[in-house]
Amino acid sequence: MIELINVSKEYKNKTALSNCSIRIPEGQIIGLFGSNGAGKTTLMKCIMGFLKYDGTITLDGEPINEKNIFRLSYATGDHSFFPSVTAGDHKAFYKMQFPRFDERRYDALMEFFELPSKKKISEFSLGQQNQFEVVLAISQGADYVFMDEPFAGNDVFNREDFYEVLISVLNEDETVVISTHLIEEIADYIDRAILIRRGEIIDDLDINEVEAGGRSLIQIVKEKYDYRADRIRTAVNQMK
C-alpha cells in the first residue's frame, strides 16, 4: 500500500498541495480528477520522488527510494523515452533495467496499438508517442502504475479500446492511478475516484457506492466543484 500523510508542496509562494492524506492499496484502478492546476501532476510527482515535499509518503510502510522505486512506474505526457532511439531498442533497455519487465505484455500491446518496433520514437505521431509511453509503463513490471493524461492525441475509439485492454491485462494485485479530465469516459472502468481541488483532496469516492446511490460520477463531480450550468448562457448574453 502507498500511503500519503499530510503531504504538502509549495512552488515559491504558491501552494500546490495542502495536507493531502490518501491510501492507495494494491488491486485498484483509480481515477484522479481535478481541473487544470488542481495538483494532480504534482501529487503524482511527489509519490514518484521527482519533487521535494513536506509530509510522509511510504510504500508498505517504507520510504520510497532506490530500493523499492522499481515497484512504481509513471506514464507522462512530458514523455520519459529516448526520442532518437527505436521502440525495439527501448524494449532491450527495459529488459536490462527492470528484471520484472513483462515482454509478453509489451509485445501484445505494441501489436494492439500497431506501433512499429524499428522506427525512432521521434518519428511517431503524438498519439503514438503517448501510446508507447503507456506501453512501457504497463510492461515495466511495477505494482503501481501512474498515468498523467495518457490519452492525449488519441481518438475516442482508441481510448475506449485501451480501457478494455487495460482491464483485461492487469493482474489482481496491480494498481493503476489515472489522472484525466475524461471523467464520463473512464467512470465505468475505475473502482475509485479521488477528487482534488486547489491542492486539497476534497473527496474519495467508491464507485460501487456512487452507483448504489443512483447518481452518476459526473453529477457528483459537478456538485463538488460548484459547476454552474447557467454560466454559458450568461457569457453568451453578455457578448450579444
Give 109-147 pLDDT, tens digit per residue: 999 889 999 999 999 988 888 889 889 999 999 999 999
The helix/strand/coil state of 78 is coil
Angle, in degrees to the nearest 10, between helices 87-97 and 103-113: 160
In whole angstroms, what is the distance from residue 184 CA to residue 210 CA?
13
Give 3-49 pLDDT, tens digit per residue: 999 999 998 888 999 999 999 999 999 999 998 889 999 999 999 99
Give 176-226 pLDDT, tens digit per residue: 999 988 888 888 889 999 999 999 999 999 999 988 888 888 888 888 877
Q: How confident is the model at residue 2 (pLDDT cuts 50, 70, 90)?
A: very high
Q: What is the mean pLDDT of the chain?
A: 89
User: What are the residue boundaries of the structural domains of the chain, listed by start?
Assistant: 29-37+66-187+204-239
Residues forming beta bridges with residue 192, ordered by sequence position: 30, 206
Residue 231, pLDDT above cutoff 70: no
Considering only residues 62 and 158, tell me which one the structure prediction assigns the higher pLDDT. 62
| Residue in this structure with the C-alpha cell 454560466, named with its chain if needed | 231
- The structural architecture, per CATH, of the domain 29-37+66-187+204-239 is 3-Layer(aba) Sandwich (3.40)
Q: How confident is the model at residue 236 (pLDDT cuts 50, 70, 90)?
A: low
- The pLDDT of residue 161 is 79
- The pLDDT of residue 229 is 55
In whole angstroms, what is the distance from residue 9 CA to residue 15 CA?
6
Total residues found in the chain within this entry = 240
In whole angstroms, what is the distance from residue 67 CA to residue 109 CA?
28
Q: How confident is the model at residue 237 (pLDDT cuts 50, 70, 90)?
A: low
Collect all residues with Cβ–Cβ distance below 8 Å to 140 and sequence separation of at least 6. 70, 73, 94, 98, 100, 101, 102
CB atoms within 10 A of CB 9: 21
Contact in structure between 35 and 61 (CB atoms under 8 Å)? no
Residue 32 amino acid letter = L
Mean pLDDT of 75-88: 85
- The pLDDT of residue 180 is 86
Distances from the Cα of 72 to the Cα of 18, 144, 179, angstroms: 23, 5, 15
Give 138-176 pLDDT, tens digit per residue: 999 999 999 998 776 667 667 777 788 888 888 889 999
- The pLDDT of residue 165 is 82
Alpha helices in 73-180 (DSSP H): 87-97, 103-113, 126-139, 156-169
Q: How confident is the model at residue 78 (pLDDT cuts 50, 70, 90)?
A: confident
Angle, in degrees to the nearest 10, between helices 126-139 and 156-169: 10
Cell of residue 112, nine digits: 494492439
Residue 63 amino acid letter = P
